[in-house]
A and B are shown apart, each in its own frame.
Chain A
Amino acid sequence: MPRFSDKFRYWALVLPALAIMIVFYIWPLLGIWVISLNEPVVGLGNYAKMADSNAVKTSFVITFRVAFVTTIGCLILGYIVAYAISNFAGRVKPLMIALVLLPFWVSVLIRSFSWIVLLGRSGIVNDALRGAGIIDSPLRLMHNEFGVVLAMIHVMLPFAVLPMMANMRGISSSYVDAARGLGASEWTAFRKVYFPQTMPGVMSGALLVFVLSLGFYVTPALLGGGRVLMISEYITYQIQEFLNWGLGSALSVTLLVATALVIAVAARFVNLRSALLERG
């Protein structure tokens, strides 16, 4: 067997994936940057138009707001789930982890349609509430931001649970035991000893959910009723309805830059290397 240098082996292993990324991802992505600058005319026209448009500004605000609320929701619910699995699950732990992962096996589209069945005006939730005599007329549970956020939290939850669980797995119970032994109440021991140790997990979950939510398309398009126009839907609209590739590309680039900025800002507060690369 011929002997190759370590460097050669490293590149031989990395190269196929890298080549695919460059040809099918980086290259078209650069194409988007180019289109945003030279269609229909060369210059910054698309960006100027974008900055002028109230609709674009609102859409960006909606996008960041929905992503933020979704992140908060996922963190609260996800923390509880991760905490329960890590500390109290015992023998049912594999089952609970499987339940967290299960939604991954169902497409986002189908999950979003399920929410339509649940939240519709004559959907299961409204029918049940009406049948029980709790409400007289149906509640508006979807075709608004509430419905979108609810369904997005559902879709994003595993992305919050998994990093937090991985983090909690590495926390030794002896610290909390020691705090309790020294007279701290259960709550104080959690708040001052356990919770700070879970922060890296919380942050990486937050970052993951937030960044993924920014580019979300299917759920807002289906459950938003046209009133919750997130930026990715707006991009589709520009390109499909108006064949306006220039503006659509400019919007994409702006979303990409905004996302990068979020990560850059987050990097000042979180150790990204430990948050994203070294789980558990």
Chain B
Amino acid sequence: MTDTTDHEAKLDLVEIAAYRYREGRLTRRGFISAMAALGVLPALGSKALAGANELVVVNWGGRPTEVLQEVLGDTYTAATGVKVIVDGSGPSGGKIRAMVESGAVVWDLCDSGMGTAIILEQQGITQPIDYNIVDRNKVIEGTAYSNGVGNYVYSYVLATNSKMLGGNVPKTWADVWNTKDFPGMRTFRKSVRGMLESAVMAQGVPTKDVYEVLGTQDGINGAIDMFRKLRENIIVWGSGSDSQNLFLQEEVAMGNIWHTRAFLLKDQIEGGTFDISFDGGVIAPGVWVVPKNNPAGTEEVMKFIAHGQDPALQVKWLELIGSGPINPAAAALVPPELAAWNPSSPENLATQILYNDEWYAKNQQAAEELYIDALIN
């Protein structure tokens, strides 16, 4: 089984956050005061120091590391007195494995992906999540695994610029494939991730049956053929910033991009003509994994994960860098103007499917080959 975790998506969050930071939208002080206003910092130092006095959480670097420090780390320290250090050195499956096998584990909690979580569990590298402490009802259904639990989400969504479409905006993937009624260039990722699903839906398959259809070679070939038909109208995006540029420079009128990039575009494209639809979106979670023999001990780390499930904290995460709350209950706290941009609101969840890592582990490599062939041959 190959590691299917989409590290690019994670690194993209880093870039986005850096952008927000440069824009001046994120300040540490503003953030702390917002926390206080939300009542997230009620019990400053009221709890006794107990057990471990340090917790090392690892993610993928850049601004999200700072955001994670501020949103989850500092608030946890405030509530429990346990110091939290967020380290952005990138906890790839290989690194976690090397650490556990060498017996020198210094990480307590790692921001990983479903694919990696599954592999690490099979290899016996990670600990089971203690669902007596962590609430499995506080994550989106399907993201509570035995050795990993969801921490935030990002989605592949249908993005459109109505200005370029003369107000005639495609609503479904079938519309995106209808070049007669919806002329203009489209953008898709230079990878099948999150893309084949949309091609299957464009054929009229209900969202719940998408992976069933993709389970057969005929289904895969059918989806690939959809791209062959559409290719004269396709410009591909390689990185998240590519997708953003294609919309900004009006090279494309619609496309299948990460909602986190769309989150930036909504403020950048004038006149509010940029919009997204989560209808037919593919939602993918980030996943917490705990290495075996973590230094802070199992209980402490589980408490931290549970702390991070707090809906108010999750909303803050969304506001700062667009990462979607993993806790569906957070939706009620999302400011109204951001509700439409929240991938895990009940309305948006209902119309999306969950990214299926098992399918990718089995089929991705062969499918990528066919996908490239369809685009260029």
Identify the A interface with B (CB < 8 A).
53-55, 58-59, 62, 116, 120-122, 143, 221, 225-229, 234, 237, 241-242, 244
Name the residue of chain B whose CB is nearest to the CB of A62: B376
B-side interface size class: 20 to 34
Which residues of A are found within 8 Å of B377, using beta-carbon distances?
54-55, 58
Contacts A120-B249, A122-B250; A229 near B376 (Cβ below 8 A)? yes
The reply to whether A227 and B373 form a contact with Cβ atoms under 8 Å apart is no
The reply to whether B368 and A242 form a contact with Cβ atoms under 8 Å apart is yes
Contacts A55-B369, A55-B373, A242-B365; A226 near B250 (Cβ below 8 A)? no
Interface flag for B231 (CB, 8 Å): yes
Name the residue of chain B whose CB is nearest to the CB of A244: B365
Question: Residue A229 contacts which of B237, B251, B372 (CB distance < 8 angstroms)?
Answer: B372
Which residues of A are found within 8 Å of B372, using beta-carbon distances?
55, 59, 229, 234, 237
In the complex the two chains form, what is the Cα distance from A227 to B375 in whole Å? 6
Name the residue of chain A whose CB is nearest to the CB of B377: A58
A57 CB to nearest chain B CB (Å) = 8
Which residues of B are found within 8 Å of A229, using beta-carbon distances?
372, 375-376
The reply to whether B369 and A53 form a contact with Cβ atoms under 8 Å apart is yes
B244-258 CB mask vs A (1 if < 8 Å, else 0) is: 000001110000000
Which residues of A are found within 8 Å of B185, using beta-carbon distances?
121, 143
Interface flag for B235 (CB, 8 Å): yes
Which residues of B are found within 8 Å of A120, using beta-carbon distances?
249-251
The reply to whether B235 and A241 form a contact with Cβ atoms under 8 Å apart is no
In the complex the two chains form, what is the Cα distance from A58 to B374 in whole Å? 10
Which residues of B are found within 8 Å of A226, using beta-carbon distances?
190, 234-238, 375
Question: Residue A53 contacts which of B236, B249, B373 (CB distance < 8 angstroms)?
Answer: B373
Interface flag for B191 (CB, 8 Å): yes
Name the residue of chain A whose CB is nearest to the CB of B232: A227
B239 CB to nearest chain A CB (Å) = 11
The reply to whether A121 and B365 form a contact with Cβ atoms under 8 Å apart is no
In the complex the two chains form, what is the Cα distance from A54 to B238 in whole Å? 22
The reply to whether A143 and B251 form a contact with Cβ atoms under 8 Å apart is yes
Interface of B is mostly: mixed
Which residues of B are found within 8 Å of A237, using beta-carbon distances?
190, 372
The reply to whether A241 and B368 form a contact with Cβ atoms under 8 Å apart is yes
Name the residue of chain B whose CB is nearest to the CB of A236: B238
In the complex the two chains form, what is the Cα distance from A176 to B250 in whole Å? 54
Which residues of A are found within 8 Å of B249, using beta-carbon distances?
116, 120-122
Name the residue of chain A whose CB is nearest to the CB of B364: A242
B217-240 CB mask vs A (1 if < 8 Å, else 0) is: 000000000000001001111100
In the complex the two chains form, what is the Cα distance from A242 to B361 in whole Å? 12
In the complex the two chains form, what is the Cα distance from A34 to B228 in whole Å? 36
Taking A62-B376, A227-B236, A241-B368 as given, write out 11 further A-B residue pairs in contact, using a Cβ cutoff of 8 Å, ordered by the A residue number: A54-B377, A55-B370, A58-B376, A59-B376, A120-B249, A121-B249, A226-B190, A227-B234, A228-B376, A242-B368, A244-B365
The reply to whether B250 and A227 form a contact with Cβ atoms under 8 Å apart is no
In the complex the two chains form, what is the Cα distance from A160 to B144 in whole Å? 62
The reply to whether B369 and A225 form a contact with Cβ atoms under 8 Å apart is no
B10 CB to nearest chain A CB (Å) = 15
A3 CB to nearest chain B CB (Å) = 58
In the complex the two chains form, what is the Cα distance from A58 to B228 in whole Å? 14
In the complex the two chains form, what is the Cα distance from A144 to B372 in whole Å? 15
Contacts A121-B250, A242-B368; A143 near B376 (Cβ below 8 A)? no
A176 CB to nearest chain B CB (Å) = 47
Which residues of B are found within 8 Å of A221, using beta-carbon distances?
238
In the complex the two chains form, what is the Cα distance from A234 to B249 in whole Å? 26
A244 CB to nearest chain B CB (Å) = 8
The reply to whether A241 and B191 form a contact with Cβ atoms under 8 Å apart is yes
In the complex the two chains form, what is the Cα distance from A67 to B185 in whole Å? 27
B347-374 CB mask vs A (1 if < 8 Å, else 0) is: 0000000000000000001001110110
Which residues of B are found within 8 Å of A121, using beta-carbon distances?
185, 249-251
Which residues of A are found within 8 Å of B365, using beta-carbon distances?
242, 244
**21 A–B contacts from the bound complex (CB under 8 Å):** A53-B369, A55-B370, A55-B372, A55-B373, A55-B377, A58-B377, A62-B376, A116-B249, A120-B251, A121-B251, A143-B185, A143-B235, A143-B251, A226-B237, A226-B238, A226-B375, A227-B234, A227-B235, A229-B372, A234-B372, A242-B368
B181 CB to nearest chain A CB (Å) = 16
In the complex the two chains form, what is the Cα distance from A226 to B195 in whole Å? 15
In the complex the two chains form, what is the Cα distance from A85 to B370 in whole Å? 50
In the complex the two chains form, what is the Cα distance from A221 to B190 in whole Å? 11
B211 CB to nearest chain A CB (Å) = 21
In the complex the two chains form, what is the Cα distance from A121 to B238 in whole Å? 19
B107 CB to nearest chain A CB (Å) = 22
In the complex the two chains form, what is the Cα distance from A140 to B369 in whole Å? 27
